A and B are shown apart, each in its own frame.
Chain A
């Protein structure tokens, strides 16, 4: 609904305010007058009319009003066919994820305008005050208006680059929910919902399908990956109780993967890896090959580190340690913890313990700290 309004009015602030007024009008009138046959159409029409009233009051915008009025049917707040309202969520998503906005603003706007979360709720999930989040959103909306960020889907030649930003925003929202359960836990669900919308609106693009499959697979293990009395202890993949996995989600993701074509971007490859990791037994050689493909594609040493983990399972810790030691990732905690794990398996206990300590010194989150402390204690 908000997407349709922003598309029509070309103004975020105005669209939000008039949408709120339309909901208020609905709350007042539907109980006595009955719910209209097309509630969404009623709300959009009402909101449009409220917006026009506002503009009418604002004489500076008189010229804009003439344009708007010309495109509107005469009947006020009449029931119109819902299919006549264009689906402009894609335009809205691309506006919210415009690269001219700061990444944190892209995330906040997407959650507010596309997912419809309350500002306070978004603030809590990102551990900042409601006031700060409100300012961040206002600044972003002002920039959209004043810098002329368009409300449109980018042209075909720009689409891949712009889509990459959208996918990154959705995945960031997912990870915020996935890595910090509790206050932000529901963000994983929101991200999956956004992923579904994007995959449906861009059916020809492979990467939105890949991202959706990837999030479904990770999220399927949500219940099994933490334990302990306060749910803050990490359970490794191999030790997870598979009956706690959400197999419906895993099946859905695998259906998406089966449908995907030969051209694979980073999200489809990651989803394929996650799908293999949900199998029993895991085909580690295949996992290592996919990580290799992903590392070649992204040029990321972190991905290369992950490929080493798979190599350790397929060919043993010695082969993996060669790969790990060739990487320059000393400021990355997982580099140290991966090395530590490989050294431990090779029986090089003292070196392993030192590496676990290095990892601990760089780690921020509580579940990860506890896991490493446990490993150091076990020797």
Chain B
């Protein structure tokens, strides 16, 4: 089964780290990319760079944001191939975001019938 390991962090937590701490975090994120079963992964730029699009009267309406000062925002993901949820939880527990107060949401991907 494939699982998306969705990473949520509070805005500003990474920015408040020392350069050395930030580097260690980045190293750990990249190390996970090389783990067997990790198919893909990416980190997103801060939520301040986000643009939202919705339809208004059938036309795309583009706005700045969303800005969430205190709420956790989506910051990146890994795509992980695992036998079951326990394995996915095991991998998710190693994601560095947890160390800085973030949370990981584990969601199975919609799959073709197997």
Contact = CB atoms under 8 A, between A and B. Distances in A.
B108 A150 contact: no
B113 A150 contact: no
For A61, A98, A100, A148, the residue with the greatest tally of chain B CB atoms inside 10 Å of its CB is A148
Interface in A55-73: 60-61, 63
A35 interface: no
A146 B88 CA distance: 13
Band of interface residues on A: 10 to 19
Given A147-B108, A148-B108, A154 B86 contact: yes
A180 interface: no
Contact of A147 (B83, B85, B114): B85
Contacts, number: 29
Band of interface residues on B: 10 to 19
Interface in B59-114: 82-86, 88-89, 106, 108, 113-114
Interface in A136-154: 146-150, 152, 154
A49 B89 CA distance: 34
Contacts of B89: 100
Interface of A is mostly: loop
Interface string A275-315: 00000000000000000000000000000000000000000
Interface of A: 60-61, 63, 98, 100, 146-150, 152, 154, 158
Interface of B: 1, 3, 82-86, 88-89, 106, 108, 113-114
Given A98-B85, A154-B86, 19 more contacts: A60-B113, A100-B89, A147-B106, A147-B108, A148-B1, A148-B3, A148-B82, A148-B83, A148-B84, A148-B88, A148-B108, A149-B84, A149-B85, A150-B84, A150-B85, A150-B86, A152-B84, A152-B86, A158-B86
17 contacts: A60-B113, A61-B113, A98-B85, A100-B85, A147-B85, A147-B106, A147-B108, A148-B1, A148-B3, A148-B88, A148-B108, A150-B84, A150-B86, A152-B84, A152-B86, A154-B86, A158-B86
* Complex A-B, nearest 6 residue pairs according to Cβ-Cβ distance, in ascending order: A150-B84, A148-B84, A148-B1, A148-B85, A60-B113, A149-B85
